[in-house]
């Protein structure tokens, strides 16, 4: 079962599973009224269920979940500006706890999406050592909702049996439905193509020039492959970072976009909304030692430049989804 299977990372994981010959997949998700359903085009799976129907089956022991052997729990509200904490606590924390307890009782392999947002401003580092979880201070309600489950899973001893993945800055095909939460590459692509300009936020940190704050950008194809690989290592339990381990600047992202489009660079810097300034991460970089100890040959395949080129030339320009 893949929760959030019509979403960005979820649909990419289904795509990766299909590539490996797995089609006996149940997808659950909220489809709403946007175009997220299009991410399912071309994917092979057995059944689709709305989230509440799946949730009821989990609680009551219905037939939907009777034969499940593996759960990829990737469904969540990932909006970093969402302020309804009651909604996030139920959608991101409570559903995850229900699924985790269900999986542990039945011996089902359970892999869930945490987030690099749990690391907050990065002052405590980006180490996926579970003993360091109590030190972390997320900067927004979304990050806290993810951190809340990590903390309770650790306290209850669940992390000895399940696997949590802290995804860093994932970008790539199938993210267009995310609106303002999609990657900057997706947001600025049309203006770069049509007007030859990429607009980035100015820096409000004395240690970073405009466009020189850095993030750990990881292509969704790498993130999905690494997710499936870590799932197949059933002894790999606990928290794992999913990133490249190498921070790159926003200016480098912009240059990669212009290179993929074959146009000269033209970067402009705009004011950052005041509401974001005290919540902005100027540096993220996944510590990948633990992941690579388990899977030394399963790290990233794409560089930032090759990923941006693949994304633009094979998906954004032809307006294609991942499985089309």
**192-234 pLDDT per residue, tens:** 999 999 999 999 999 999 999 999 999 999 999 999 999 999 9
Of the ranges 213-217, 275-279, 316-320, which one carries the lowest mean pLDDT score? 275-279
pLDDT (average), residues 141-150: 96
Q: Which tokens go with 91? A: 């959608």
The residue-averaged pLDDT of 152-157 equals: 97
Instruction: Report the C-alpha gap between 216 and 287 in whole angstroms.
Output: 10
- CA 74 and chain centroid, separation: 8
Q: Average pLDDT over the chain, rounded to whole?
A: 95
275 pLDDT more than 90: no
Question: How far from 86 is each of 73, 137, 145, 173, 324, CA to CA, in Å?
Answer: 20, 19, 10, 31, 37
Q: What is the mean pLDDT of residues 186-194?
A: 95
- How far apart (Å, rounded) are the C-alpha atoms in residues 7 and 139? 24
Residue 71: predicted pLDDT: 97
Rounded-to-integer distance, Cα 26 and Cα 91, Å: 19
- The pLDDT value recorded for residue 79 is 86
Query: DSSP letters along 242-261, please?
Result: ES-S--EEHHHHHHHHHHHH
Contact 290, 235 (CB under 8 A): no
Average pLDDT over residues 52-63: 82
The C-alpha atoms of residue 133 and residue 245 are separated, in whole angstroms, by 19
Q: Is 62's pLDDT higher than 80?
A: no
Q: Which residues are catalytic?
A: 142, 178
Which of 6, 9, 12, 47 lies closest to 30 in space, CA to CA?
6
The pLDDT value given to residue 132: 96
> Which pLDDT belongs to residue 65?
77
| Band of pLDDT at residue 85, cut at 50, 70 and 90 | very high
DSSP letter (8 states) at residue 94: I
Question: Sign of the C-alpha dihedral, residues 274, 278, 280, 283?
Answer: positive
Q: Give percent of the chain above pLDDT 90.
A: 86
Give the count of alpha carbons within 13 A of 243, CB side only.
28
Distances in Å between the Cα of 305 and the Cα atoms of 185, 211, 215 are 12, 17, 14
pLDDT, mean of residues 301-322: 97
Which architecture, in CATH terms, is 2-172+217-243+285-301? 3-Layer(aba) Sandwich (3.40)
> Per-residue pLDDT averaged across 253-274, rounded?
96
Sign, Cα dihedral of 256, 117, 229, 314: negative
Place of tokens 């669940």: 158
pLDDT at 2: 97
What's the rounded mean pLDDT across residues 7-13? 97
In the chain, beta strands by DSSP E: 2-3, 26-29, 47-50, 70-73, 109-113, 163-167, 169-171, 198-201, 214-215, 217-219, 238-242, 248-249, 267-270
Residue 140 has pLDDT above 80, yes or no: yes
Task: With cut-offs at 50, 70 and 90, classify the pLDDT of residue 235.
Answer: very high
Asked if residues 108 and 69 have their Cβ atoms less than 8 Å apart, the reply is yes
SS3 6: coil
């Amino acid at each position: 079962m893949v929760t959030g299977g019509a979403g960005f990372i979820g649909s990419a994981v289904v795509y990766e599973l299909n590539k490996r010959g797995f089609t006996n997949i149940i997808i659950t998700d909220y489809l709403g009224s946007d175009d997220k359903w299009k991410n399912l085009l071309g994917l092979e799976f057995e059944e689709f269920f709305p989230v509440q129907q799946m949730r009821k089956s989990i609680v009551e022991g219905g037939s939907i979940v009777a034969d499940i052997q593996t759960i990829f729990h990737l469904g969540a509200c990932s909006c970093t500006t969402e302020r309804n904490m009651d909604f996030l606590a139920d959608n991101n924390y409570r559903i995850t706890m229900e699924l985790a307890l269900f999986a542990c009782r039945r011996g089902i392999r359970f892999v869930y999406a945490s987030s690099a947002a749990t690391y907050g401003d990065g002052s405590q580092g980006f180490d996926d050592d579970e003993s360091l979880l109590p030190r972390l201070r997320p900067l927004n309600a979304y990050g806290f909702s993810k951190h809340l489950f990590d903390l309770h899973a650790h306290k209850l001893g669940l992390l000895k049996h399940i696997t949590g993945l802290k995804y860093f800055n994932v970008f790539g095909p199938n993210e267009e439905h995310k609106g303002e939460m999609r990657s900057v590459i997706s947001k600025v692509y049309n203006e770069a193509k049509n007007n030859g300009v990429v607009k980035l936020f100015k820096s409000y940190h004395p240690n970073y020039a405009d466009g020189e704050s850095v993030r750990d950008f990881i292509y969704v194809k790498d993130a999905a492959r690494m997710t499936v690989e870590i799932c197949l290592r059933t002894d790999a339990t606990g928290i794992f970072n999913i990133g490249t381990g190498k921070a790159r600047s926003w200016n480098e992202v912009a240059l990669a976009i212009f290179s993929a489009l074959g146009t000269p660079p033209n970067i402009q810097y705009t004011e950052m909304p005041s509401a974001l300034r005290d919540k902005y991460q100027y540096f993220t970089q996944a510590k990948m030692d633990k992941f690579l100890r388990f899977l030394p040959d399963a790290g990233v395949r794409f560089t930032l430049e090759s990923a941006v080129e693949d994304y633009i030339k094979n998906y954004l320009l032809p307006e294609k989804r991942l499985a089309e």
